[in-house]
Structures are given as C-alpha cells and as structure tokens.
Amino acid sequence: MTLTEKVLPAPPPFVHPEVKPFWEATAEGRLVLPKCLECDTLIWYPRPFCPNCASTRVEWIAASGRGSIYSFTVNRRGQADLAAYREAGVYVLAYVELEEGPRVMTNIVDCDPDSVRIGQQVEVVFHDTGQGTALPRFRPRGA
C-alpha cells in the first residue's frame, strides 16, 4: 500500500485563539509564519510570543511553501495512540526545513514512501479538515 492508494486522515487541530491567523490562512491555502518584530526571529511552532526574546510583538508573514526534507521516517504500522491514523496505512512523517528556516513536523504525501529522500525538494499542500482549517503537508516538487 502506498500513499497514492490511500489518503491520510486530516483530523482538525486544536485552534488556540492566539494562533488563529495561522489556521485561518491554511483554510485559504496559505502558509504563514509568525515573525518577531523586535528581533526578526521566525517562530515555529506558531505561538503568539517570541521564544528568542519573549516579545509579544509578532506579525504573520507569508511563507513560500517550499522546503526540503530534513529527516523522515516511514510509518508502516497504525499508531494506537493516534486514533485518526490507526487505519492510515503506510505514511511518511518528516521534518521539512522551510526555505525561511524553520523545521516543521509534517507528512510527505502524493508519492511512494520508498522514494522519499533526505534533501528532497518539497512544496506545501493543504488537506482540508472539514472544520475551517487545513493541515499543511508536503509533496515532492517538480515531480
């Protein structure tokens, strides 16, 4: 079984009010990153303060949606602790390093899991949760 045969589930995330802009953007097919206005740090995961200088002066900037695979693992067995993924079949869990720098935990989709490689160029896709948000995932670029 490959990812092209089975679509990953897209369970809705818990949306904390302070990171609502992130999730609202995903619903519109845009990837945004919080950026600290005091020290220019790009913040990941999304949160309403800067982990570098503790400032709460944060703005949301548009990310390119492009990156490369920093590390990954192919999950071939259902995870009992993640109910939504129990029947997901084989899928790829990865850290993607965005062009802007942050490393994002995500899934690699729309490809054969056995073809995934470290350093591979990827681009974001959005999987609708059906509840006003979408999960950013990545697929090989130019494939």
Interacting residue ranges for Zn ion, rule: CB under 5 A: 36, 38-39, 41, 50, 52-53, 55
> What's the closest the beta carbon of residue 41 comes to Zn ion, in angstroms?
5
Please say which residue, 39 or 83, places its beta carbon nearer to Zn ion.
39
Please tell me the distance from the alpha carbon of residue 40 to that of residue 61, in angstroms, as a whole number: 11
> What's the closest the beta carbon of residue 78 comes to Zn ion, in angstroms?
40
Please say which residue, 58 or 98, places its beta carbon nearer to Zn ion.
58
> What's the closest the beta carbon of residue 23 comes to Zn ion, in angstroms?
22
Whose tokens are 């994002």? That residue is: 104
Residue 116, number of CB atoms within 10 A of its CB: 18
Cα torsion angle, 28, 95, 50, 37, sign: negative
